């Protein structure tokens, strides 16, 4: 009995014995956890050719979601609005007022106001049936792109559209709705930039006159060392406020789309 107790104490105190017992218990505990862990981490992507199809669909969805802001910028009124607001800030001579975040935020809300009918139609005809499971994603895309194509066709310049149609070397479409989206989008963006610069020119004219008047007055009184831009800035700001400039600019931008 004494010998057995002595051997037991030697076995317990032996590091190899302790390590062996711990490894044995770890293996016994890991055996029943294996199937449960496998069931928890399993991902059903279908069988046969469905795996590749579902993977491609997942990649397409992730790609579309990552490019969604750029896509909305290209096919909406955002381009014209944000360029005009940026040119207005340059015409006023204020470098960081209003800041970029304010300009982009105002452009986003004005874009939402202009595009509300188009977005509502796209949701009714494409998004709602897709969520309800009534149509497939391909058909939802074909339905949802129609309101945006109608909007772009209404505001694109014929000259710009003809230019990209010629460069694409595609046969002329029978109807405007048959214009390919890769032809319509760049033509629409070029048209939007042109109109934004036209509006920007009209915004620059009154502020340029103020700069010229202030510079002439400073030269006539001999204050040539004083920067005319610094002196003209308060007059530009008060002039813009007195004529309700923000209301005029926002109203003109919205009305330029016929809203």
**202-250 confidence digits (pLDDT tens):** 999 999 998 888 888 888 877 777 777 788 888 889 988 998 889 999 9
CA-CA distance, 126 to 138, in Å (whole number)? 10
- Domain map of the chain by residue range? 66-200+244-255
Rounded to 5°, the CA angle 188-138-68 comes to 50
> What is the 3-class SS of 71-107, one letter each residue?
HHHHHCCHHHHHHHHHHHHHHHCCCCCCCHHHHHHHH
CA-CA distance, 199 to 90, in Å (whole number)? 13
Cα 215–chain centre separation? 42
Read off the pLDDT of each residue in 160-184 and give the average, rounded to a whole number: 84
Read off the pLDDT of each residue in 159-172 and give the average, rounded to a whole number: 86
The residue among 69 and 11 whose pLDDT is bigger is: 69
Q: Across all residues in the chain, what is the average pLDDT?
A: 78
- pLDDT at residue 133 tops 90: no
Residue closest to 188 by CA, chosen among 146, 153, 163, 148:
153
Which of 23-27, 124-128, 134-138, 189-193 shows the lowest per-residue confidence on average (mean pLDDT)? 23-27
Residue closest to 186 by CA, chosen among 208, 206, 213, 168:
168
CA-CA distance, 76 to 188, in Å (whole number)? 9
């Amino acid at each position: 009995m004494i010998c057995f107790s002595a051997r037991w104490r030697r076995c317990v105190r032996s590091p190899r014995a302790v390590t062996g017992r711990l490894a044995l218990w770890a293996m016994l505990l890991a055996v029943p956890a294996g199937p449960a862990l496998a069931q928890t981490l399993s991902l059903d992507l279908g069988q046969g050719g469905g795996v590749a199809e579902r993977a491609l669909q997942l990649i397409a969805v992730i790609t579309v979601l990552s490019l969604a802001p750029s896509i909305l910028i290209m096919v909406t009124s955002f381009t014209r609005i944000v360029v005009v607001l940026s040119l207005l800030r340059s015409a006023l001579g204020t470098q960081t007022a209003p800041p970029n975040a304010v300009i982009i935020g105002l452009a986003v809300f004005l874009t939402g106001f202009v595009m509300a009918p188009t977005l509502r139609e796209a949701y009714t005809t494409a998004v709602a049936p897709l969520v309800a499971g009534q149509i497939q994603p391909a058909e939802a895309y074909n339905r949802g792109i129609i309101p945006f194509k109608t909007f772009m066709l209404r505001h694109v310049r014929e000259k710009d559209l003809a230019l990209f149609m010629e460069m694409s070397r595609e046969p002329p479409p029978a109807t405007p709705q048959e214009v390919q989206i890769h032809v319509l989008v760049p033509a629409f963006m070029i048209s939007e930039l042109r109109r934004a610069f036209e509006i920007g020119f009209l915004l620059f004219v009154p502020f340029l006159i103020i700069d010229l008047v202030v510079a002439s007055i400073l030269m006539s009184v001999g204050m040539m060392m004083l920067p005319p831009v610094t002196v003209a800035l308060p007059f530009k700001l008060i002039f813009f406020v007195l004529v309700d400039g923000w209301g005029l600019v926002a109203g003109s931008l919205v009305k330029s789309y016929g809203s």
